[in-house]
Amino acid sequence: MKKPPIVWCVGGSDSSAHAGLQADLRTGQDLSCHVQTIVTCVTAQNSKVVQSVEAVSVTMFDAQWQTLLDDVPPDAIKVSLLPSLALVEACSVWLQRIRKNHPRVSIVFDPVMAASSESGNRLQQSSVGAALLANLLPWVDVITPNAMEFTALTGLSLDDSLGPPLKAIQQTLFAEGVCPHALWLLKGGHDDSEQATDWLLGRTSITGFRTQRLTVHNTRGTGCTLSTALASFMAHGYELLDALTMAKAYITGALKTGVKIGEGAGPLGRPGWPLQIENLPEIVSSDGDSLGTGVAFEQVDEQKLGLYPVVDSVEWLALVLEQGVQIAQLRIKDPDDPELEDKITQAICLGEQFDAQVFINDHWPQAVALGAYGVHLGQEDLEEADLALIQKAGLLLGISTHGYYEIARGQSICPSYIALGHIFPTQTKQMPSQPQGLKRLEHYATLLHEHFPTVAIGGINAERFPLVAQTGVNSVAVVTAITQSAEPEAAIRELMAAFDRAKGVER
């Protein structure tokens, strides 16, 4: 079997197993990771009270790090409760060493600072707070404080988290170069609003992850679970925005499945891989707006899905439609092509002639003006396009996505279909992201099933085509599998037959 990603969790042992390292272990296992632990303290606590906290010695702390490193390095590290200044300083030394010798290891810092129990016992010495940023921030990728922790660390308030105050906070956090590459995830949910928004602040970007507030009681370990889920998804190789989108979806599922154990608040549930679209967060800008137009686009006719050729000329478009293809895309890369409008007009006529769904790539103003059936846009085009105008003109809209974050961002538009890519390395264009592969594609298809039609795209040749079709997508886009074939007509017919076989369809 393939070795699972290894996640190191640095934190305290919770005897109630509601939070702490015990919650970390359950989360990592739920997400197909192998969690190894570095214990910073042992606590005596239950669902109601923290009775006692006892820190480990620096000698024992160092020994745990060294012993694990002597065997196998981690893929990601989550650091949480450090109860003493000596352990903060020791942890800083180890993270610096990891950053130098294993630069690809992702590091998440969840600054557990709560003084918090009915007994009055503290989880952390009062002298630790000021040392956390100076010692740990230079070495971490993302820090995940709640409102109280953020104020304790920085002296800044999150009482009003929308608009200019966020930008002012951003400027303050990054003004003096304290954190050269760390991002701040400022966790929401601390007020009484109907929605909760976590804000990811980078040096030049602000992104919101908004969810509906859930009225639930069993919420112990929420911070531990979110940060460990984030580290786990990063250990699986997901980029930060995708990993965070997934972690937010995971925590929503975990809150919905919390368990009543003990007289106080119980622990979160462990809902498995995030495959429920209703749990995805809404992606919003710093002013709280999403891409959504407020009106859904008409969805494609799923009976006409299957093989989806993407071609760069009217001649190729005519050829594929003549073979019985019922959905295709005209992709003309040159925006200054003097014959652009004429080619789009011909494409529209061909779609009508063959009763096919023909999408125009990128050139939405011309597509709207000439009355095209539909337009296909990439993520960068969604920022510039007049989506309301496209929808009002009656065009269908297909969008490209490259992971969970862009799926969550794009679903607010309610597009006609969602393209998922690139699945394999592609010859037709330079891609900023890594190939998704079949396993991720299967997850995306499950996530979107019965919500949005899906199209797989990117590097799909004739040999890979049946495997892609079996993942559950509604359609498979190809380029060179047709245009570079010695017998394109025969290639088209075989690909159409291969799709039908994968779906168990007889024609």
Same-domain check for residues 388 and 426: yes
Nearest to 11 by CA among 112, 144, 153: 112
Mean pLDDT calculated for residue range 428-446 = 86
Mean pLDDT calculated for residue range 145-156 = 88
* 157 half-sphere exposure, CB direction, 13 A CA radius: 3
Rounded to whole angstroms, how far apart are CA atoms 241 and 404? 8
Mean pLDDT calculated for residue range 473-481 = 97
Same-domain check for residues 13 and 115: yes
The pLDDT, as a whole number, for residue 180 is 63
Contact 300, 396 (CB under 8 A): yes
Token pair, residue 159, equals 């009482």
Over residues 178-192, the pLDDT tens digits come to 566 799 999 987 666
Same-domain check for residues 462 and 349: yes
Mean pLDDT calculated for residue range 60-76 = 98
> What's the number of domains the chain is made of?
2
87-101, 155-169, 205-219, 296-310: segment of lowest average pLDDT: 155-169
The pLDDT, as a whole number, for residue 225 is 97
Mean pLDDT across the chain? 92
The pLDDT, as a whole number, for residue 384 is 92
End-to-end CA distance of the chain: 39
Q: Given a cut of 70, is residue 27 above it in pLDDT?
A: yes
Q: Which of 228, 258, 284 is the last residue of a domain?
A: 284
Identity (one letter) of the amino acid at 13? S
CATH number at residue 273: 3.40.1190.20
Name the more confident of 307 and 132: 307
- Annotated binding site, which residues? 329-333, 361-362, 381, 400, 426-429, 459, 479-480
The pLDDT, as a whole number, for residue 324 is 97
pLDDT band, residue 120 (cuts 50/70/90): very low
Domain extent at residue 215 = 7-284
Nearest to 411 by CA among 439, 441, 453: 453
Q: Given a cut of 70, is residue 409 above it in pLDDT?
A: yes
The pLDDT, as a whole number, for residue 157 is 83
Mean pLDDT calculated for residue range 311-317 = 98
Q: Which of 284, 317, 334 is the last residue of a domain?
A: 284
CATH number at residue 447: 3.20.20.70
Same-domain check for residues 393 and 493: yes
The pTM of the full predicted model, rounded to 2 decimals, is 0.94
Token pair, residue 352, equals 């009508």
Same-domain check for residues 462 and 318: yes
Same-domain check for residues 81 and 155: yes
The label of the residue with tokens 């998804």 reads 233
The pLDDT, as a whole number, for residue 178 is 56
- Annotated binding site for Mg(2+), which residues? 362, 381
Mean pLDDT calculated for residue range 32-38 = 98
Is 293 domain-assigned? no
Q: Given a cut of 90, is residue 172 above it in pLDDT?
A: no
Is 339 domain-assigned? yes
